[in-house]
């Protein structure tokens, strides 16, 4: 759960990577490394919203892949932003992709670059968002540099977003999965370990956010350090502050 760009996908499934850029500058995103487990099946370009007749606005390149065979460990899928006529590379993004053969495991993506932007209910620790406006009531984009990937309304058509928020504890929270998110019966199980490293100057709340593929599950169970903490329905108002 700690990798900045992490994806777990099922063998035979398709997924996409969206990268922000601005082709009017001559720079575009190019696929630099494609592991044998994946196949590039499409690419699209979308201009960012802008007034009519205005040029030089940003855009989003979307790469579509199909997972062809399972892997034993994460493999690197990398992109470089460059001018193709002079090899002038200005940025690189690397994704660690694991292709799973386990039918019970679900595809997920770690979502970064968001912070807890609002006061949440006292004691509220676990969240499930099945609508974008729910998510915005709790999180807002962090002020970070470089090209970032933000959630959109369209993401929620095929995914739900799950979050764990830690209380302010003068510590840095570090998360690891004990098991890959998987379906048991009609329950999505999030089984993880959270370790807190003391940091006296830390005054904000740590969180871990996952975008998980929708599937044949009706609720989500959170297990922290071997202890079942809470079970929430997928369609809920748990995002309300």
Indicate the average pLDDT of the chain: 82
pLDDT at 20: 87
Q: Where residue 232 falls among pLDDT bands split at 50, 70, 90?
A: very high
Q: Quick check: 91 and 80 in contact, CB under 8 A? A: yes
Task: Quick: pLDDT tens for 42-90.
Answer: 999 888 776 676 666 688 899 999 999 888 888 999 999 999 888 789 9
Main-chain phi, psi angles of 133, to 5 degrees:
-65, -30
Residue bearing the bigger pLDDT, 134 or 141: 134
* The two three-digit tokens of residue 212, written as one number: 């998980």
Lookup result for tokens 């670059």? 113
Residue 209: name the closest of 236, 233, 173 by CA: 173
Least confident of 112-116, 125-129, 236-240: 236-240
Query: At residue 172, does pLDDT exceed 70?
Result: no
- Report residue 210 CA to chain centroid gap: 5
Euclidean distance between the first and the last CA atom of the chain, given in angstroms as a whole number: 25
Q: Give, in order, the Cα–Cα distances in Å from 206 to each of 194, 223, 225, 226.
A: 11, 18, 17, 20
Q: How confident is the model at residue 22 (pLDDT cuts 50, 70, 90)?
A: confident
- Helix, strand or coil, per DSSP, at residue 24: helix
Q: Which residue has the tokens 């676990």?
A: 126
Domains in the chain: boundaries = 6-100, 108-233
Q: Closest Cα partner for 159 from 185, 134, 191?
A: 134
Q: What is the mean pLDDT of residues 29-44?
A: 94
**The domain made up of 6-100 is a member of CATH 2.60.40.2020:** yes
- At which residue do the structure tokens 């370990």 appear? 193
Contact between 137 and 118 under an 8 Å Cβ cutoff? The reply is yes
Phi, psi of 228 (to 5 degrees): -70, 120
Distance of CA 112 to the CA centre of its chain: 6
Instruction: Map residue 141 onto helix, strand or coil.
Output: strand
- The full DSSP string for 205-235 is --EEEEEEE--S-SEEEEEETTEEEEEEESS
SS3 3: coil
Q: Residue-wise over 92-122: b if at least 16 C-beta within 10 A, else e?
A: ebebbbbbbeeeebbbbbbbebbebeeebee
What is the model's pLDDT at position 49?
A: 73
pTM over cut 0.85: no
Distance between CA 75 and CA 176 in Å, rounded? 18
């Amino acid at each position: 759960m700690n990798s900045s760009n992490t994806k777990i996908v099922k063998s035979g499934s398709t997924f996409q990577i969206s990268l922000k850029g601005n082709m009017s500058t001559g720079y575009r995103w190019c696929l630099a490394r494609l592991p044998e487990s994946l196949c590039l099946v499409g690419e699209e370009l979308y201009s960012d919203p802008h007034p009519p007749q205005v040029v030089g606005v940003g855009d989003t390149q979307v790469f579509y892949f199909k997972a062809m065979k399972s892997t034993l460990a994460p493999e690197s899928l990398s992109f470089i932003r460059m001018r193709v006529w002079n090899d002038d590379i200005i940025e690189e993004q690397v994704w660690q992709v694991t292709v799973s053969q386990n039918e019970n495991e679900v595809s997920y993506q770690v979502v970064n670059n968001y912070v807890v932007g609002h006061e949440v209910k006292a004691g509220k620790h676990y969240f499930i968002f099945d609508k974008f406006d729910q998510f915005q009531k709790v999180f807002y984009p962090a002020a970070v540099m470089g090209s970032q990937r933000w959630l959109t309304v369209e993401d929620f058509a095929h995914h739900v977003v799950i979050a764990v928020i830690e209380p302010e504890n003068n510590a840095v929270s570090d998360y690891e999965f004990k098991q890959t998110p998987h379906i048991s019966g009609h329950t999505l199980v999030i089984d993880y370990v959270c370790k807190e490293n003391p940091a006296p100057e830390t005054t904000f709340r740590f969180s871990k956010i996952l975008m998980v593929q929708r599937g044949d599950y009706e609720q989500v169970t959170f297990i922290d350090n071997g202890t079942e903490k809470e079970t929430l329905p997928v369609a809920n108002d748990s995002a309300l502050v």
